[in-house]
């Protein structure tokens, strides 16, 4: 059955494109991969994002979030609906000078963030080669870092919290948890709860732990982005009895 994009356009404040020209422009990123998306959306606000996620779920397709599109492995290429947040989600929302943190929307360019932070004597360390266009949403998605990563580490080491919308439209905050909060999350009868539960069940399994420790690149390789960093999750308190309660990163 054909997807009724006119119905979606009526729900959005932002733009929706289904013509060949725009879809062709978004059919690739900085990689060699190419696939025509069904449509391209430029959401204007959070309600638009919720409408897009709901529409994709109802129509059996996917959303592909995109910021600058400089990924090298086809991360923002696919046959779903491209959701380009680089146009309307570009605000630096809050700076806490005392605690050294900043809250931003995903479409803030890394170098522009540092221009903003400079007068305050602060900067965001991870520096990709594409820092003059790469955006924080994409840096979080890719766990980006650059030539000084041994000093500045990668994006996940600087990430305190992520406000996210899950595939069922629920809004969640991912951030540091102590062990009690982690187990409480696992009890939630929601999609968020089932994510935590799944992680707990997979990583509590001794055979899985052994396999991950054996097969993941060794820890001395700082830059080792090979899928989800489950090797790092194994180092956190729920799976590593007696260790300190670490920050709990999901990427
Ligand atoms: C010449 C060149 C050199 C590069 N050098 C480096 C380097 O030194 N280090 C490095 O790490 N990378 C490098 N890259 C890869 C890339 O530029 C970086 O990883 C960059 O940080 C990606 O940012 P972006 O805004 O382009 O993200 P995109 O490519 O748009 O997206 C990246 C990922 O994040 C996801 N994403 C984006 N926004 C959101 C959102 N709002 N919600 C959920 N998911 C989201 C996307 O779906 C995708 O999976 C290089 C690329 C090129 C072309």
Counting Cα atoms < 13 Å in the Cβ hemisphere of 220 gives: 0
Axis-axis angle for helices 206-215, 191-204 (nearest 10): 80
Domain 5-84 has CATH 3.60.120.10: no
- Sequential DSSP letters for 160-181: -EEEEE-TTS-EEEEE---HHH
Ligand 1 centre distance from Cα of residue 23 (Å)? 20
Contact 66, 84 (CB under 8 A): yes
Distance from residue 74's CA to the centre of ligand 1 (Å): 10
Check if the beta carbon of residue 222 is closer than 8 Å to that of residue 153.
Answer: yes
**Pocket of ligand 1, candidates 144, 148, 229: which has the most ligand atoms within 8 Å of its Cβ, to mutate?**
144
Q: Report the DSSP beta bridge partners of residue 101.
A: 96
Q: Report residue 238's pLDDT band, with 50, 70 and 90 as the boundaries.
A: confident
| Positions of CATH 3.30.465.10 in the chain | 92-162
pLDDT tens readout for residues 49-105: 999 999 999 999 999 999 999 999 999 999 999 999 999 999 999 999 999 999 999
Tell me the residue ranges of DSSP E strands in 169-219: 171-175
- Which residue ranges does the chain devote to CATH 3.30.43.10? 5-84
The CATH number of domain 92-162, selected from 1.10.10.60, 3.30.465.10, 3.40.50.720, 3.30.420.10: 3.30.465.10
Please give the angle made by the CA atoms of 91, 157 and 212, to the nearest 5 degrees: 130
pLDDT interval class at 248 (50, 70, 90): very low
Is residue 228 predicted with pLDDT exceeding 90? no
């Amino acid at each position: 059955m054909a997807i009724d994009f006119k119905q979606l356009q009526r729900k959005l404040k932002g733009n929706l494109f289904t013509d060949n020209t725009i879809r062709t422009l978004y059919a690739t990123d900085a990689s060699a991969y190419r696939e025509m998306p069904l449509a391209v959306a430029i959401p204007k606000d959070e309600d638009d994002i919720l409408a897009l996620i709901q529409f994709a779920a109802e129509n059996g397709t996917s959303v592909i979030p995109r910021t600058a599109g400089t990924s090298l492995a086809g991360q923002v290429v696919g046959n779903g609906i491209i959701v380009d947040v680089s146009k309307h989600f570009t605000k630096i929302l809050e700076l806490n000078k005392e605690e050294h943190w900043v809250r931003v929307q995903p479409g803030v360019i890394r170098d522009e963030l540092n221009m903003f932070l400079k007068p305050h004597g602060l900067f965001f360390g991870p520096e990709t080669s594409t820092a003059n266009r790469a955006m924080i949403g994409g840096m979080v998605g890719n766990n980006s870092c650059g030539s000084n990563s041994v000093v500045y580490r990668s994006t996940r080491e600087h990430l305190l919290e992520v406000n996210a919308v899950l595939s069922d439209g629920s809004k969640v905050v991912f951030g540091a948890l102590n062990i009690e909060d982690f187990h409480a999350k696992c009890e939630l009868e929601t999609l968020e709860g089932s994510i935590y539960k799944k992680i707990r069940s997979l990583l509590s399994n001794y055979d899985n732990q052994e396999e991950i420790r054996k097969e993941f690149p060794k820890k001395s390789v700082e830059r080792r982005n090979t899928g989800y960093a489950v090797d790092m999750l194994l180092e956190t308190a729920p799976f590593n009895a007696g260790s300190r309660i670490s920050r709990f990163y999901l990427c």
